Chain A
Amino acid sequence: MSLLKLENLSVTFGNFRAVDQISYSVNEGEVLGIVGESGSGKSVSSLSLMGLIDYPGKVSADQLTFMDQDLLSMPEAQRRKITGSDIAMIFQDPMTSLNPCFTVGYQIIEALKTHQGGTKKELKHRAIELLTLVGIPAPESRLSAYPHQLSGGMSQRVMIAIAIACNPKLLIADEPTTALDVTIQAQIIDLLIDLQKEKQMGLVLITHDLALVAEVAHRVIVMYAGQIVESGPASEVFSAPKHPYTQALLASLPESAAGRARLQALPGVVPGQYDRPKGCLLSPRCPYVTDHCRNVEPTSQGSLERQVKCHTPLNTQGRPAA
């Protein structure tokens, strides 16, 4: 069953479309990977799911439903109840996301109290349970620790503990390991995936790490400049990318360099607020660009299961089809 469904979701700041008409769905127990360069709208789109886009940002969508409830039209109070309980989020930088003025225990118990309630003793007991679950040693004594007394990896475990405190059905992890030491990253991902499997949560995993997505995600979405350029089952997208941007991302992996001296990379950067090109947003950087691409923006082709936004999607040989 589909847990989260969005259709043509856009987030605009003034005239600038940080997220541009994206559509996807997440099923129960499914891991959805979202990849794309910095600035492609991954964070903004996930914040909009949580209702965290501040004025003057605007969120609009033809459909945005969670378990068949319309998130955009429901009363604010009801949405706040879902936020942090049924849909939870893990942020990129645990060191700045936890409040420096409150103990770990306080911040966990606060989440529990808000959504579930219970006596002081029960709450404390549950907090210790959660810390144990995310692999924090000596959990009882950690309750009284302040965030600055924890390492990055420990803080991220605390954030995960808070996220799963109310048994969410959907967990959004926005680059959960980007701010951490390389040695810790794998542990945190393993923990997340274990928890996801155990609790059969839907997981939206935002990351730069294509290899990771290939390994753990059922489906993958590739974003570029606020748009979804390609989506589909992870194995298909990675073995036979249809969009030149996906192809370029894969080619930039060290694994595919295969003896060449330099990694391949697309020249240029993601266009920002003031340098969005006419036509296809990738056109200035695309190796297969045509005049048509420069003038006319492509529409999404295919189904929600396998979409690609390109005039000339690549064939299985990795060449433009027509």
Chain B
Amino acid sequence: MLRFIGRRLLQAMFVLLIISVISFMIQDKLGDPVQQMVGQSVPQQDRLALQQDLGLNDPLLVQYGRFLGRALQGDLGTSYYYKEATLDIILSRLPATLELSFSALVLVILLATPLGVVAAIHPKSLLSRAILIFSTLGLSVPIFIVAVFLMYFFAIEWRLLPSFGRGETTWVMGLWQSGLFNKDGLLHLLLPSFSLAFVLTPMFIRLIRAEMIDALQSEYIRYAWSKGISASRIYFVHALKNTMLPVITVAGIQVGTLVAYTILTESIFQWPGMGLLFMEAVTRVDVPLISAYLMVVGVIFVVTNTVVDLVYSLVNPRVRLPGYGS
């Protein structure tokens, strides 16, 4: 077990290192920092001097070492536009994005579980076919179409829900700016989180359906029937528990995907999170901010994946990576 954890952590470090290299390359190769800092009017000698001062003439490896050293101390550079530490800017937007991703994930599970289960129990019924068609179509409809549709009907046509922004927020323990604790914030959350949930719901319906069909064909389900217990217990206790273990793992891993998709959702709904920040940074060619965003999202990816793997191996001791059992 210790060996398994050790190996998993080592892998995580390695991936983080690669992400840092990519971030570094972007910062180094995209745009000209000197130009960004001093503008047009400064004479050529001063520029060269500044280049020297900034260490831009050092060998690449030395520059990377410096970048990594700073990154480890939490210094991911300074935004050209905001003139503030990029990490601080991103972290101030993190709660909005995490709340959006988390509620989307909850919606995905709440929507996909009953649909997937129904489609597995009565695979030939009309309802199951409808669910399958929906999930197939859903896989191929891009998220911005869904988002624009939802916005058009619920916000513009019927005026039921706000169409942009995060609404009212409250500070939780002085650390976290949350929109989950008041009605206005929750109303604002509805459209964006439903749109974002749409990215994963079709896939999860299929996953849950497939896992459930597998479970229902297993010997332990036949045995459960032989014990005379009720059909609902067999479906929703015996089969569903076996179904949800792998599903929850995938859900954990997909947190990363959701965070990535927030770029689109947040842009459409002007949701003041990291994704919107990133889009703005791209239009302003705010290279340090872009590179810092990549680092932060990379860390989120790696951390969630690693945690999910470790938790899963604890919850389900039968499943260990090959060769690292017992």
Interface size on B, residues (CB 8 A): 19
For residue A81, CB closer than 8 A to chain B, the reply is yes
**Segment touching B, from A15-23, A83-91, A136-144:** A83-91
For residue B41, CB closer than 8 A to chain A, the reply is no
Can you give 9 A-B contacts (C-beta < 8 A)? A52-B226, A80-B230, A84-B228, A89-B226, A91-B222, A91-B226, A99-B238, A110-B229, A148-B318
- Which of A47, A52, A82, A97 is most buried by chain B, counting CB atoms within 10 A of its CB? A97
Which chain B positions have C-beta within 8 A of A91? 219, 222-223, 226
For residue A50, CB closer than 8 A to chain B, the reply is yes
**Cα distance A146–B226 when bound, in Å?**
20
Residue of B nearest to A81 (CB): B228
Inter-chain contact A98/B228, CB cutoff 8 Å: no
| A100 touches which of B224, B225, B318 (Cβ 8 Å) | B318
For residue A111, CB closer than 8 A to chain B, the reply is yes
Inter-chain contact B317/A83, CB cutoff 8 Å: no
**Cα distance A100–B221 when bound, in Å?**
11
For residue B284, CB closer than 8 A to chain A, the reply is no
For residue A162, CB closer than 8 A to chain B, the reply is yes
Inter-chain contact A101/B241, CB cutoff 8 Å: yes
Residue of B nearest to A113 (CB): B229
Which chain B positions have C-beta within 8 A of A162? 227
Q: How far is the CB of A132 from chain B (nearest CB, A)?
A: 21
Inter-chain contact B225/A98, CB cutoff 8 Å: no
Q: Which of A88-138 contact B (CB under 8 A)?
A: 88-89, 91, 93, 96-102, 110-111, 114-115
Inter-chain contact B228/A85, CB cutoff 8 Å: yes
Q: A52-B222, A96-B220, A148-B317 are in contact. Are A101 and B227 (CB under 8 A)?
A: no
For residue B11, CB closer than 8 A to chain A, the reply is no
**Cα distance A233–B25 when bound, in Å?**
86
Which chain B positions have C-beta within 8 A of A146? 317
Against A, the Cβ 8 Å flags (1 = close, 0 = not) of B92-107 are 0000000000000000
Against B, the Cβ 8 Å flags (1 = close, 0 = not) of A284-295 are 000000000000
**Cα distance A96–B224 when bound, in Å?**
11
Q: Which residues of B contact A (CB under 8 A)?
A: 218-220, 222-230, 233, 238, 241-242, 245, 317-318
Which chain A positions have C-beta within 8 A of B230? 80, 114
Q: Which residues of A contact B (CB under 8 A)?
A: 47, 50, 52, 80-85, 88-89, 91, 93, 96-102, 110-111, 114-115, 146, 148, 159, 162
Which chain A positions have C-beta within 8 A of B242? 99-101
Inter-chain contact A97/B223, CB cutoff 8 Å: yes
Residue of A nearest to B240 (CB): A101
Which chain B positions have C-beta within 8 A of A114? 227-230
Inter-chain contact A97/B225, CB cutoff 8 Å: no
**Cα distance A226–B135 when bound, in Å?**
43
Which chain A positions have C-beta within 8 A of B219? 91, 93, 96-97
Inter-chain contact B228/A115, CB cutoff 8 Å: yes
Inter-chain contact A98/B317, CB cutoff 8 Å: no
**Cα distance A84–B222 when bound, in Å?**
12
**Cα distance A100–B315 when bound, in Å?**
12
- Which of B219, B223, B226, B241 is most buried by chain A, counting CB atoms within 10 A of its CB? B226
Q: How far is the CB of B233 from chain A (nearest CB, A)?
A: 8
Q: How far is the CB of A86 from chain B (nearest CB, A)?
A: 9
Residue of A nearest to B228 (CB): A84
Which chain B positions have C-beta within 8 A of A115? 228
Q: A97-B220, A99-B242 are in contact. Are A52 and B227 (CB under 8 A)?
A: no
**Cα distance A38–B61 when bound, in Å?**
69
Which chain B positions have C-beta within 8 A of A100? 220, 242, 318
| Given A80-B228, A98-B220, 5 extra CB contacts under 8 A | A83-B227, A84-B229, A85-B228, A91-B223, A110-B227
Which chain A positions have C-beta within 8 A of B318? 100, 148
The 10 closest A-B pairs by CB, nearest first: A84-B228, A97-B223, A83-B228, A84-B227, A96-B219, A99-B220, A101-B241, A89-B226, A114-B229, A111-B227
Residue of A nearest to B241 (CB): A101
**Cα distance A101–B240 when bound, in Å?**
10
Which chain A positions have C-beta within 8 A of B228? 80-85, 111, 114-115
Q: How far is the CB of B187 from chain A (nearest CB, A)?
A: 38
Q: How far is the CB of A14 from chain B (nearest CB, A)?
A: 16
Residue of B nearest to A54 (CB): B222
**Cα distance A115–B104 when bound, in Å?**
42
Which chain A positions have C-beta within 8 A of B233? 110
Inter-chain contact A101/B225, CB cutoff 8 Å: no
Inter-chain contact A111/B229, CB cutoff 8 Å: yes
**Cα distance A47–B225 when bound, in Å?**
10
Which chain A positions have C-beta within 8 A of B224? 99
**Cα distance A84–B229 when bound, in Å?**
8
Q: How far is the CB of A54 from chain B (nearest CB, A)?
A: 8
| A96 touches which of B218, B229, B245, B317 (Cβ 8 Å) | B218
Which chain B positions have C-beta within 8 A of A81? 228
- Which of B223, B229, B230, B317 is most buried by chain A, counting CB atoms within 10 A of its CB? B223
**Cα distance A126–B222 when bound, in Å?**
25
